[in-house]
Structures are given as structure tokens and as C-alpha cells.
Amino acid sequence: MMWTMPVHLLDEQQTSKLRAAPLSFSRHEGSEGDAPAGYRHLHRQATLNRCDFDAAARDLLEWRMHSRAGLRVDASEIPLRQDTVVLMRWGPGPLAVKIPCRVLEVIDESRRRGFAYGTLSGHPEAGEERFILEQLDDGRILFTITAHSRPASTLAKVGGPISRAAQNFMTQRYLQAMDRL
């Protein structure tokens, strides 16, 4: 079962700290293609049942997809824009995994919208993830998620297959969440 958690604005102190944090990886342009050496590549697509492209884009750019997938989301801006920082949490209370990211790119075309974010220090993985909605000629919406990542935390490194399974689990939840909003 999925539920939507409220999306909150980060306070000034958290925003400043995350804005000052460097990316936890070396950025490679063209991340929609092959993953850099040492990174795992993920690519998933789904044609959504919903056909409300503008509303789907709002849900994505206002972090509702992430919250609907079960993450607690605190962002510096809602809706997101270039350089927005976000601190997401997955799991219960003090045991929650912290997921800090920075928006690296926003796509705002008439029939293609989305964004890419990169991981910041403290994220269990290091890499980039991209979320793209594309309105097809027949009105349907194609939702594509691509990522390249490698373990960054000790827990993720030791977790091996479990860490990959967690990433696949969340990717599937993202795909499902876009259709249930």
C-alpha cells in the first residue's frame, strides 16, 4: 500500500548546509546513456494509465511522486528548479536512511518534462537519477527513470545485492506512484 506523505520546505540552516555540500560523484554529461566505469546502470519505463500530462508533471516536479512512494521529503523549493536541494528519508524515525540530493537539470519542454538529481555526501549511493515524462502522439504518457550509481556508504557497500534490490524496489514504487496520484 502506498500513501502520500506531506512534502515540506527545508529550513534555512539545512538548505545552506546542503547547498554547500559537493556532489558525491564526478558528474558525467549524457547520463541517459551508458553508466561510467564502476557504476551500475538502471533503466525502467512504463506507459502510465493516466493521461493528464500537465498534472503528472506537477506531481513529479512538486515531489509528490517521491512522497507517494513512501519517502519523507524536505526540499528547498516546491516546485523544484535547477539547484534545488532535497533531503529525503526512507524508513522509520531515527533509523531512516537519509537521501540528500541536488537537482542538476530540469527539462521543461511542451511534451517532455522532468529532472535529474545528483547525490550529495551522506547518500547511501553515489550517482545521478533522471525522471522524464514524455507525452506521446496518442496522448499517453511514457515515464522513464534512468540512473547510474555505485555504493557510497559502508552499509550500501556491505549490502551488495540487498542494496541493488532496494534501488529496484524504490524504482518500481516510483513508477507505480506516478499512476496513483
Q: What is the pLDDT of residues 148-173, one digit of tens each?
A: 999 887 777 777 778 788 889 999 99
Question: Tens digit of pLDDT for each residue in 77-92?
Answer: 999 999 999 999 999 9
DSSP state of 120: B
Which residue has cell 524515525? 93
Which residue has cell 516546491? 78
Question: Tens digit of pLDDT for each residue in 105-154?
Answer: 999 999 999 999 999 999 999 999 999 999 999 999 999 999 999 988 77
Strand order in the sheet with 112-119: 7-9, 72-75, 85-90, 97-109, 112-119, 125-135, 141-151, 40-48
For the chain, give every domain's residue range: 7-25+40-180
- Model pTM? 0.92
Write down the pLDDT at residue 74.
98
- The residue count of the chain comes to 181
Write down the pLDDT at residue 33.
57
Architecture of domain 7-25+40-180: 2-Layer Sandwich (3.30)
> Which of 158, 145, 166, 128 lies closest to 35, judged by CA?
128
21-33: average pLDDT: 75
Round to whole Å and give the CA distance between 31 and 133: 16
Write down the pLDDT at residue 170.
94
Q: List, in sequence order, every residue forming a beta bridge with 97; answer none if it has no partner.
A: 90
